[in-house]
Structure 1
Amino acid sequence: MASIEIISPLPGIFYRRPSPESDAFANEGDQVDNNSVIGLIEVMKQFSDLTADTKGKLIRFCVEDSEPVEPGQVIALIDVEE
């Protein structure tokens, strides 16, 4: 099975949940598809959805919740369904 990297398109802060009281958008081991939101990137109080953009199993987050990210940084790994 092939793995792909989900890359940050923006600099900012990565959030795994929509609010501190909410459940995470996705967890390691979850099945995701093209439209599955796996997190948010916040830049100057603007929030952008980060989607899986592929169908498969989310195997690992490479960034912790509320950590800063840079463009091109790997956020998560997904095993792609063939």
Structure 2
Amino acid sequence: MKILNRLPAAVLAILMLVTLAGCGGGAAAPSGETGSGAPVRIATKPMTEQYILGEMLGLLIEQAGYDVEITKGVGGGTSNIQPAME
């Protein structure tokens, strides 16, 4: 039963990873730099799986040349994080 409760969060995290992976691979800016200078912000829920996925996502984004800020353990559930995603 607990697995079914965590399934939507896991599916959302996987979709975010796939979406960001699909956004990569484009041509770099003429100066050879990537990113706009503003960091990519990642927020995770207070669960071990979310901490791990947040760190994995952060590493992928850093490899693409962007700065990353990770906020761990954001409470309030999905309703607290969803507005930032939109």
The answer, yes or no, to whether TM exceeds 0.5 is no
Higher helix share: 2
Higher strand share: 1
The TM-score normalised by the length of structure 1 is: 0.26
Q: Which is greater in Rg?
A: 2
Q: Which has the higher contact order (CA 8 A, sep 6+)?
A: 1
